[in-house]
Chain A
């Protein structure tokens, strides 16, 4: 069963890649540039050199954490579409903790914790709406995305704006609040090992511990989990909080590791790409690593394509949509075949 799922994911990734390349070729022709040069840019710009590989890893870090967050939520029966807003609230809280608090050594811990807590609380709002009011979290998490977007926008025009007040951005975080580079002089920061360790931790919790079992059971059949005496409501709220905290941590790492300051449109879209990452991975945590690498490569390659061949990089978003369509199509076909096979078995 598990082996099958991996095969399906690889098929989905390959079809999605073909669709993406097809879109890119079409756009290249429409834009009047050479399709071959475009394809070359897509590859060389993502994995062709150590610089482009580094750039790819910088996209991978947030995608990994948000992807794990979304997969964790959906496995637990929480339809969290709000990783984008949780990421933004994480980035906002992390910046506040870095800029407004006087610098002290080890401040980066506070920065990361603030981000995770803010993301977790933001998702918990949607959890409370579901538990208390019965409102579907698909809707509330989406609304919270917009509110987070404008809160960040307000913060960088208002209370968190740089002292010089020339640009809508915060002052840079002090060195004590930053994550250092992994290698001296390298692009990649210490967020990578953090993201990998957290991914491993979530995978272990979900597959090897009692709370993980309860969450997966509730995700598959909430009524049965309730009959089994599981604290379904408490667990559900926990699942909201943890998945939000993962996205919030991603936002904090983006600030502390990469940008060093808050500005509008930060990490724009990672939370939505995370949905494609999670579903391409079949909601399996180990698969999220590969799916995140796939989309990080595609997105960095698309940016190179734009620079070299003038093909709009936003096509990478269309490729994410195409991937989800393929995943849904294959999932539907699997159900259909399972139905037709059952009577004979």
Chain B
């Protein structure tokens, strides 16, 4: 029993950055925009968080920096892909390459001559001790991310704003006839979604990894994209998708530690393979926003 609780808690901790990024991507895709630059956004967020947290000694300042980096990425993406109507896949791919190149170069330059961006303050953990050491190891953003699942689920299902957001992804022309600016709403959703992506990167280095290294995100942004498809564009579904990844990661660590005589590289495949297998059950197109990936042009 305790082992199961441990695995679930560890899975939640590992899933948290992916969950935050995936919720941001969910919001983005719900309004009809496909941002495959989540990985790059997370990486910029992770780097900003590492630098600011290391220099200030305060994890919260690092997280604010991660949010700001996410907003900057969102503005760049939305400016090109929403305002100008540029190809969303190209802009997303560009963001990923930019992030890898810029954070990689800055990391190498900054790490020269100093202690580097190694020892980072950790995100506070409010969980009471009597719940056991593993549950108590969950930091505040794990709880915030779970709360966000409920909030987003409620907003999409029950509120006028939620209905409008969904309509933007299903039939933007219809929304435009109501006198609503499609582009402005899409920009707003993309920027908020990217802010969550940046925060996800910050959460990764300050809450899970504990340090920044080049390419620290290691594909988690891409797993977030998959989780949105797996979750059929619902907040609860996204939570389930990221938990598959988190639990597979947690199991992978345990199996590695056991030394079952199987090469550990095969365990590294587990989270990605699990996501791919889970997509077998996805039947993606039925639930996908109808206008997903298509730039909106007025007139």
A residues near B (Cβ < 8 Å) are: 23, 27, 30-31, 79, 81, 129, 133-136, 138-140, 142-147, 150-151, 153-154, 157-158, 272, 275-276, 279, 311-312, 314-325, 327-329, 331-333, 335-336, 339
Contacts and interface: CB of A to CB of B under 8 A. Distances in A.
Given A142-B225, A147-B273, A279-B90, A133 B284 contact: yes
B284 A158 contact: no
B69 to A, nearest CB: 15
13 contacts: A81-B89, A134-B284, A138-B225, A143-B272, A154-B263, A312-B108, A312-B109, A314-B101, A318-B100, A320-B97, A321-B101, A324-B93, A328-B86
A199 to B, nearest CB: 22
B144 to A, nearest CB: 26
A332 B283 contact: no
A143 B84 contact: no
Given A133-B279, A336-B84, A146 B219 contact: yes
Contacts of B223: 143
B220 to A, nearest CB: 10
B226 A139 contact: yes
Given A134-B284, A279-B90, A27 B266 contact: no
**A-B interface, 7 closest residue pairs, ranked by CB to CB distance from nearest:** A318-B101, A332-B84, A321-B97, A134-B285, A321-B98, A324-B94, A317-B101
Contacts, number: 173
Contact of A325 (B91, B276, B280): B91
Interface string B265-299: 11011001101100110111110100000000101
Given A31-B112, A151-B269, A139 B105 contact: no
Contacts of B234: none
A147 B276 contact: yes
A136 B97 contact: no
B126 interface: no
A317 B100 contact: yes
B81 interface: yes
Nearest to B269: A150
Contacts of B101: 23, 314-321
B286 A324 contact: no
A312 B263 contact: no
Given A133-B280, A328-B90, 9 more contacts: A23-B101, A133-B283, A133-B284, A142-B219, A143-B222, A143-B223, A147-B272, A318-B104, A332-B84
B36 interface: yes
A335 B285 contact: no
B85 A336 contact: yes
Interface residues of B, number: 57
Interface string B61-92: 00000000000000010001101111101110
B206 interface: no
A168 to B, nearest CB: 9
Contacts of B214: 314
B5 interface: no
B50 interface: no
Given A318-B98, A325-B94, A81 B36 contact: yes
Interface of B: 34, 36, 40, 76, 80-81, 83-87, 89-91, 93-102, 104-106, 108-110, 112, 214, 219, 222-223, 225-226, 229, 263, 265-266, 268-269, 272-273, 275-276, 279-280, 282-286, 288, 297, 299
A309 B111 CA distance: 16
Contacts of A138: 34, 36, 89, 225
B299 A328 contact: no
Contact of B276 (A144, A315, A320, A327): A144
Contacts of A333: 84
A317 to B, nearest CB: 4
A322 B40 CA distance: 13
Contacts of A139: 222, 225-226, 229, 279
Given A136-B284, A153-B268, A318-B101, A328 B273 contact: no
Contacts of A311: 105
Contacts of B91: 324-325, 328
A139 to B, nearest CB: 5
Contacts of B105: 23, 27, 311-312, 314-315, 318
B282 A135 contact: yes
Contact of B229 (A135, A144, A314, A322): A135
Contacts of B226: 139, 142-143
Nearest to A329: B80
Contacts of B269: 146-147, 150-151, 154
Contacts of B99: 321
Contacts of A136: 34, 229, 284, 288
A174 to B, nearest CB: 26
A132 to B, nearest CB: 9
Nearest to A151: B269
Contacts of A329: 80, 84, 86
Contact of B104 (A30, A312, A322, A327): A312
B272 A146 contact: yes
Given A142-B225, A153-B268, A312-B109, A325 B80 contact: yes
B297 A275 contact: no
B97 A135 contact: no
B265 A317 contact: no
